[in-house]
Amino acid sequence: FYNNKCLGCTGRAIPLAYKLSKTYPKLSVVAIHNTFGNQNISKQDILDIFTSKKAPFPIYLDQHHKWFDFFNCEGTPHWILLTQNAEVFRSFYGS
């Protein structure tokens, strides 16, 4: 989980996720943009943080922090590592 306004997310977590996706091609990397308060975000806003203007992996929007709450996230960035059976293997906050 990340937020475009989170410097730890855009400066460290997203680049690390990109590196992991390239280093471990069998690993499925997915990012979920979480919104807080009345924040509105568009697809273009999300793509604007990338120099190529393309997402290097799937990015989904969690408009009302439904999934953020489901996984008991503490803030952004928050990493959820799932097994092949979609069970939570690790969950941690920070970049």
pLDDT in tens, 66-75: 999 999 999 9
Let me know if residue 2 belongs to a domain.
no
- Cα separation values, 1 from 19, 50, Å: 17, 17
Tokens standing for residue 7: 């410097």
Kindly state whether residue 1 falls inside one of the protein's structural domains: no
CATH number of the structural domain spanning residue 47? 3.40.30.10
Q: 46: which residues sit within 8 A by CB, 6+ positions away?
A: 4, 33, 55, 59, 61
**Residue 84 in domain:** yes
Q: Which H or E element spans position 4?
A: none
Give residue 37's identity as a one-letter amino acid code.
G
> Is 86 part of any domain?
yes
Q: Which domain holds residue 19?
A: 7-93
Pairing of the two strands 88-93 and 78-82: antiparallel
Number of domains present in the structure of the chain: 1
The string of pLDDT tens digits covering residues 41-63 is 899 999 999 999 999 999 999 98
